[in-house]
A and B are shown apart, each in its own frame.
Chain A
């Protein structure tokens, strides 16, 4: 909840740390109407962040006694966890691919 390393805390900083103009110039040219991979990833991070915040809210409500329903809170956490795991798996694969390219002999 107050944890400075929780995703809702980090995610906005992570996205704001990157200059959006840089992202724009670095992004590959896409056809109009086509979304770039950077956009897709940004959307994914936003979604993960939203689910994490939702999980945080549910747990806070559960602990404070506002909500007496354990299942809803558990499912909210589960949702956040699954989305985070998925995002991390994609991210890891991407980084691995990038490193592979960087190791290429030229």
Chain B
């Protein structure tokens, strides 16, 4: 019964993925000036990589959803700032700051938010379609 709920499942997978992406962006922004990490060195920007994924074997193969495949590190160079008074400054007085660009993060943040909303809108549309279908047998 109710196989058609799969549209909601697909949208839900999108919502989950976007939420993970949002968490990654939040972490990037929070650590935008973190110069120390447990691994040593400044914080390295992270990116969520999405992958199409079949949600359940009962779904037809062309009905895909999405999931976060992995969270990778952005290997672009760190930002060098001359600040000899900083405890993490090297012998030349250079402090390495994370390779996080706040403007980029803000754009990604808005993008994630919009994508999240789009997925929710899919759910709402599906719901509206379902309600409409039920009207057929309603008097």
B127 on the A face (CB < 8 A) = yes
Hey, what's the 0/1 contact readout for B6-46 against A, CB within 8 Å counting as 1?
Answer: 00100010011001000000000000000000000000000
B58 on the A face (CB < 8 A) = no
Known: A79-B5, A82-B8, A83-B2. 16 other contacts (CB 8 A): A71-B19, A72-B12, A75-B8, A75-B12, A78-B127, A79-B8, A82-B5, A82-B127, A83-B1, A85-B130, A85-B131, A85-B134, A86-B2, A89-B134, A92-B137, A92-B138
- Whether A78 touches B137, Cβ cut-off 8 Å, given contacts A47-B1, A71-B12, A71-B15, is no
Residues of B within 8 A of A89 (CB): 134, 137-138
Main SS of chain A's interface residues?
helix
Q: Which of B8, B130, B134 has the most CB of A within 10 A?
A: B134
Nearest-neighbour CB distance to chain B for A70, whole angstroms, equals: 10
Q: Is the CB of B2 within 8 A of A78?
A: no
Name the interface size band of chain B.
Answer: 10 to 19
A39 on the B face (CB < 8 A) = no
Name the interface size band of chain A.
Answer: 10 to 19
Nearest-neighbour CB distance to chain B for A35, whole angstroms, equals: 12
Residues of B within 8 A of A75 (CB): 8, 12, 15, 123
